[in-house]
Amino acid sequence: MILKQRFPFRFGTSSYIIPADIIPNVEYLKEKVDDIELVLFESDEFSNLPSPADLQKLGELADEWSLTYSVHLPLDVYLGNPDRAERERSVGKCLRIIELTRDLPKSAYVMHFEAGAGVDINGFSADEQQRFSEALRDSLVMLLNGTDEPASFFCAENLNYPFELVWPVVEEFGLSVALDVGHLEYYGFPTADYLKCYLPKAKVLHVHGTVEGKDHNSLSFLKQEVLELLMVELARQPLASRVFTMEIFSEADFTSSCGVMEKFVSPVVEDFE
């Protein structure tokens, strides 16, 4: 069953489903999904940033197949780092990706609020939490001043610490939320409570299962009752532009996850955008 345009949200997955570069993955997915999460990164050792020709092709495929792209900003940026030079480096890295993807039809930019490589925010004292929040504010001022994209287009993703630590910053700057249901289950947060609090602000959902202590696996490994709860809440709060990303990274996981999602397909989805 083709699930593209069969839900009251944009059904999607990552740009790493088959073992190939971004363009072959988009070619593989173009008839199957509405949105593709572009996971972009750049380092001294390796980069997967698309070339100008690739970007033109991504735009052409999106136009032909009614695709949008949710762009995941780099993982090795530390917007909450206490060192301003590190924050400037991190913001600069984000702005390069934003500029690179400027002309693509996008659904959102997804971003992580981290303090540093390997830094566990759960262990922060009250003073450290305050400094983390102030560092995020400084980074966001730089980021938003560096682009004409609206603040609501940027989605802060929940990670391994309580999201309420950064929620005041998200709310203050008018950001949106990337609500990662897989992370909620993996780290043991109360999924129902998070859906109640944050789904109204969620432009993007990340959904995946956990097996053998590892997340980002097939939805067949996500608790059935959790997925059913999520689908009920999405039906109660429909938003055609919201993205439901199966954040998985193999063809086998994609196929089995689509099989799980088939039972939630409505007979007819009208006015899909």
Please, where are the H alpha helices in the chain? 22-29, 52-65, 84-100, 126-145, 167-173, 181-187, 191-198, 224-236, 251-261
Contacts of residue 86, defined as CB under 8 A and 6 or more positions apart, other chains included, come to 78, 116
- Side-chain half-sphere of 140: how many Cα atoms within 13 Å? 27
Q: How far is CA 55 from CA 50, 96, 103, 195, 215, in A?
A: 6, 14, 8, 35, 30
Q: CA angle, corner 154, sides to 215 and 135, nearest 5? A: 90
DSSP string, 133-158: HHHHHHHHHHHHHT--S-GGGEEEEP
Query: pLDDT (tens digit, 0 to 9) for every residue of the chain, 273 residues total?
Result: 899 999 999 999 999 999 999 999 999 999 999 999 999 887 666 788 999 999 999 999 999 999 999 999 999 999 999 999 999 999 999 999 999 999 999 999 999 999 999 999 999 999 999 999 999 999 999 999 999 999 999 999 999 999 999 999 999 999 999 999 999 999 999 999 999 999 999 999 999 999 999 999 999 999 999 999 999 999 999 999 999 999 999 999 999 999 999 999 976 444 444
What local confidence, expressed as pLDDT, does residue 243 receive? 98
| Contact present, 87 and 138 (Cβ < 8 Å) | yes
What local confidence, expressed as pLDDT, does residue 87 receive? 98
Determine the longest span between alpha carbons in the chain, in angstroms: 53
What local confidence, expressed as pLDDT, does residue 261 receive? 98
Which class in CATH covers the domain with range 23-203? alpha beta
Task: Tell me the Ramachandran region of residue 261: left when phi exceeds 0, alpha when psi lies from -120 to 50, beta otherwise.
Answer: alpha
- Residues 53, 265: Cα–Cα separation, whole Å: 36
